[in-house]
Every structure is written in C-alpha cells, then in structure tokens.
C-alpha cells in the first residue's frame, strides 16, 4: 500500500506531502482477532522525522491490527497516475512495485464502490476499482509477486482527536 498524505496535521506537525508504504501480509486472523502476520513500514527520505513520529501511531491505529512482525525502513517512494494506469515504486521498483489498471465501468469512466467501511478511517470517497498488472515485493526477507488481482485506490480521512488528522491516497 503506497500512501501520500495530501493534507493534515498532528498537533503542530504538518503532514502534507509525507509518503509511506506498507508491505505486509494480513494473514488469516486480521478479520477475526485483529492480528496481522507481518508488515514493513517504509518512509520516503523526504518524510521528516517529525512527520514519521506523528504518522507512526496514526498508521497503527488506523489499521488497528496487532502485527506478529513489525519493521520500519527508509526507501524512496514514487507514485504516478495517468488516466487508466497507476504505478508506485519503492526503492526505484527494486524493493516493491505496483502497476494497476483502472477497471472500466459500463460508461467507460471506471468503477467506484461506495459506502464501504475502511479500517479506522473516519471517511472515504469510495474504492476506485483497479486490476493489478504487476504487484511484487522483496522487502526485509519477504518476497512475493502476482498479477491479475483486484486492487483499489481510495482517499481517506482520519482524525486523531482535536486538531489532528490526515487525508491521503492509498
């Protein structure tokens, strides 16, 4: 999951422009016991220490899972979007890559699934449905590669009490 924060604050820390990437495996118990198998949180080098410190508890709270293995690292994150293709690269694509193609709707403009709760997000504007052309990773001893699976883009709003929260793309 590649994330770019569009806007928001945590206390006095401006989170706009911060980027992070979650590579992980939800495992078999995420929906029943709120336990995820493993996750690696990668922060883009441009994300400041203050932003990282503010985002870390928000990331963990938003997804609300207890992780069997939790690691953090730093690596460049690139995200690009054209009309029908979204591509995200971690470490120049050497560590992880997601290339997604928009699913055309009946009107050709794309499919959006609305009114679906997304983890701990206060709001979302719907799941824009995509299909993976390539989704691969080789991060911290975990490796996988697959294609032709459902994927989505979502913009969410989270709120951490008075004066805190963020809005971004997943």
| Predicted pLDDT of residue 170 | 46
| Strand positions, DSSP E, the chain | 2-10, 13-14, 19-25, 35-43, 66-74, 77-81, 85-90, 96-102, 112-113, 123-124, 127-139, 142-146, 150-153, 155-159, 165-169
pLDDT of residue 162: 37
Mean pLDDT throughout 86-105? 95
Q: pLDDT value at position 167?
A: 42
What pLDDT sits at residue 30?
86
Where exactly are the structural domains of the chain?
Answer: 2-160
Q: State the average pLDDT over residues 49-78.
A: 88
The answer to whether residues 116 and 104 touch, using CB atoms and an 8 Å cutoff, is no
Q: Is 44 helix (H, G, I), strand (E, B) or coil?
A: coil
Q: pLDDT tens digit string along 10-47?
A: 889 999 999 999 999 988 998 889 898 999 999 999 99
Largest CA-CA distance found in the chain, in angstroms, rounded: 45
Report percent pLDDT > 70 for the chain.
87
- Cβ-based neighbours of 92, under 8 Å, separated by 6 or more: 76, 78
């Amino acid at each position: 999951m590649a994330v770019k924060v569009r806007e928001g604050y945590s206390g006095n820390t401006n989170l706009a422009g911060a980027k992070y990437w979650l590579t992980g495996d939800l495992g078999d118990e995420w929906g029943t016991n709120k336990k995820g198998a493993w996750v690696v949180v990668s922060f883009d080098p441009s994300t400041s220490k203050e932003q990282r410190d503010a985002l870390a508890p928000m990331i963990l709270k938003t997804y609300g899972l207890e992780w069997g293995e939790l690691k953090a690292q730093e690596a460049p994150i690139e995200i690009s979007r054209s009309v029908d293709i979204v591509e995200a690269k971690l470490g120049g694509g050497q560590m992880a890559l997601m290339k997604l193609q928009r699913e055309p709707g009946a009107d050709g403009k794309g499919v959006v699934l609305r009114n679906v709760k997304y983890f701990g997000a206060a709001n979302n504007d719907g799941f824009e449905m995509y299909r993976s052309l390539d989704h691969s990773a080789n991060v911290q001893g975990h490796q996988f590669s697959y294609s032709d699976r459902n994927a989505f883009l979502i913009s969410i709003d989270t709120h951490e009490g008075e004066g805190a929260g963020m809005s971004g793309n997943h």
